Each structure stands twice: as C-alpha cells, then as structure tokens.
Structure 1
Amino acid sequence: MLRKLLGKVESGRFGRGLAGLQAGWQWEVKYRFFVARGVVLRGFVKYEGKIFAISISPKSYSCSCQDYVVRGIRCKHIAFVAMVELAYEAAERSAHRQVQEVRSL
C-alpha cells in the first residue's frame, strides 16, 4: 500500500520527501493500526519549527500543508511518511520482530 502510494507521488515532491530523510525531519506516530489491505497511520511531520498533520489509510491520505489543502496533491510530507514507515517495517522484519501498532488518539 505504501509503495503504491509512493509510486504516485510526483518526482519533485518525492525527491523533497527523500531530502527530508537526509535533513532529519521527524515523524511522530500517534496511531498505527494494521488492516487487511495495509495500515492506517496518523501523526505529525516536524522540521524547522513546522508541524504538519498526516493521515494515511488504504483508501485515502491527507496532510495539513498547503500543497495538499489547496492543490489536493500527494505532497512531500506524505512521501516522507511513506518512506519512513517502509524503512521502519523493513528494519523490524530484519530484526525478526513484528511491527507494533500504536494507539494513542
């Protein structure tokens, strides 16, 4: 599901999301819940004093940034979260651990 979402992110925004990984952006997970077709995620992307609320599910996604709110497109923040979550899942699998759900809403 997250790979599919990343595949639909415009290349410039994908690159800026990837740059966010290198720049040390933070993803604060408030909610991670596994469903039949993927995962439901809610949380905040934080960097340079900015905070954006992110929500991703198998059927929808949203961000509180202007790119998403005004233009309705998959933004760099959504791309960043998808990348971070894929990396987290891969790290947990390589450590032979199950990815944990987080429920704090």
Structure 2
Amino acid sequence: MSPDPGHGLDEELTAGRPGQRLGLWWLAVVGMVAAAVLLVTGGLRHYGYALGGTLVVLAVVRLVAPEERAGGLAVRGRVLDAATMLGLGVAVAVLAAYLRLG
C-alpha cells in the first residue's frame, strides 16, 4: 500500500499508451447514430443492417489503419480486432435478414 492514497489512482489513469487518442473511433459513433436513426425511421431490419455494416467498416478500418490512428479501435492485435468486428458485423446483418417481423 502506498503512503499517498491518491498516488495509485494517478498511475492507473495514465496507464496504457501515453498520449493515445481515440483516433478513428469516432466512425463507430457516426455509424451508431445512423443506425439509431434507421431504427426510428426504417425499422428493426434496417437498424440491424446499419449496425452490421458499421462493424464491418470498422473491421476494415482497424485492419488497414496505422496503429497510431486506430486509437480506440485497437484493443488486442490488429488481426484479432478486425476478425472480431467482422464476425460480429456479419452475424448482426445475417440475424437482421432472418427477422420475422409480422
């Protein structure tokens, strides 16, 4: 235990890559907002397609963007991150295609 109770918190807040910014992570926010608009205006199937498409685009961006530009998209390795987002995006789009609505 450190003598200064706030000392460990400061180290925790600065852990990770120094100076790392969110990078191209804002693309996820834009895609989610577009998907939310489609949910309200177009329905659940359109939302699923937009959400899946957003994840696929983010997977491609993670795969081709330099490490310093990936920002918040970089969690593990480049290939693992891209494969995870691609798999989730395809799964969401396929599930949206098979929805029984009415």
TM over 0.5: no
TM-score by length of 1: 0.31
TM-score by length of 2: 0.32
Greater helix fraction, Structure 1 or Structure 2: 2
Greater strand fraction, Structure 1 or Structure 2: 1
